Structure 1
Amino acid sequence: MTRNKASAKKAGTAFETLIAAYLAAHVDDRIERRTKAGNKDRGDISGLRHMGQRIVVEAKNTTRIDLAGWAEESDIERGNDDAGVSVIAHKRHGKGRPEDQWITMTLGEFVALMNGNRDHLEDR
């Protein structure tokens, strides 16, 4: 069965809710799914922090992987949120449990997460 716009939106919302609920249960109960903010989108999940910095989570439930596009989108949202790090949570097809889903980030984002700052990254 192919997706239409409504079914894709429903699947995306369900995936965002799944990821947010899992993070809230296992990391911090203040984590929640964020409502859309148009061209100033700040990511799909709010309340996630590490070493004092906010982490933007961009959630994707699609059959076609577009890591480069998603990374660019999540970086824009990180900037909109004035967050320290952005990550992409994406659907691992054939796996329904939240803990089995993928998290992707650039090496620069990973170092920012580990260090608690973006000092090593060039201004882009």
Structure 2
Amino acid sequence: MTTARRRTRSSAKAAGARFEREVADYLAEHVDDRIDRRVKTGAKDRGDIAGIRLSPALRSGRVVVECKNTSRVALGAQHAEAETERGNDDAVAALLVHKRHGVADPGRQWVTCTVADLVALLTGERPQETT
């Protein structure tokens, strides 16, 4: 009989940091070598990955990437965190990168965003919110 190892706060933080590094390295290799893992800034956090820009053909602007290596996906709370970080960074879009457990390849992880974020990525402009 095997016993499951309990995830501690320390091991969860280490797994999150490793996941952020893998995603940043993958994006730097495939998109722009200036992309890197961002240093934590506390209450004014601006996302986990720095240096992501829209295509020059679109317009300049930043994109916030929030990486999550968790056993449960909580899109509402996770998107709210990414949206706050998007505002803190004055970015046009926010993306969530979710760890696919059992899948090591960073290029095969999940990415989620709102449709407004998708429009911002495709056009370079964030649509105005409707009430």
TM-score bracket for this pair, using the shorter chain length: over 0.9
Counterpart among 33, 36, 39 of residue 32 in structure 1: 36
Structure 1 residue ranges, 4+ long, deviating more than 6 angstroms after superposition: none
Q: Which structure carries more strand by proportion?
A: 1
- CA drift of 1:122 comes to 1.6
Number of residues of Structure 1 aligned to a counterpart in Structure 2: 123
Question: In the alignment, what sits opposite 2:18?
Answer: 14
Shift of 1:67: 0.7
**Identity, % of aligned pairs?**
51
The Cα of 1:123 is off from its aligned counterpart by 7.2
Normalised by the length of structure 2, the TM-score is: 0.90
Counterpart-to-counterpart distance in 2, 1:53 and 1:3: 37
Q: Deviations over 1:24-46 (max 9, x none)?
A: 00100000000111110000000
Separation (CA, whole Å) in 2 of partners of 1:2 and 1:95: 20
CA distance in 2, matches of 1:80, 1:123: 21
Matches within 5 A, 1:14-93: 14-50=18-54, 51=58, 52-93=60-101
Q: Which amino acid aligns with 2:83?
A: D
Give the SS at the match of 1:49: coil
1:101 and 1:34, CA in 2 relative to 1: closer, same or farther beyond 3 A? same
Q: Distance in 2 between matches of 1:5 and 1:62?
A: 12
SS in structure 1 opposite 2:111?
Answer: strand
Q: Which amino acid aligns with 2:49?
A: I
- SS of 1:112's equivalent? helix
| TM-score with structure 1 setting the length | 0.95
Q: CA deviation at 1:49?
A: 0.7
Equivalent residue number for residue 129 of structure 2: 122
Partner of residue 119, structure 2: 111
From the CA coordinates, give the structure whose radius of gyration is larger. 2
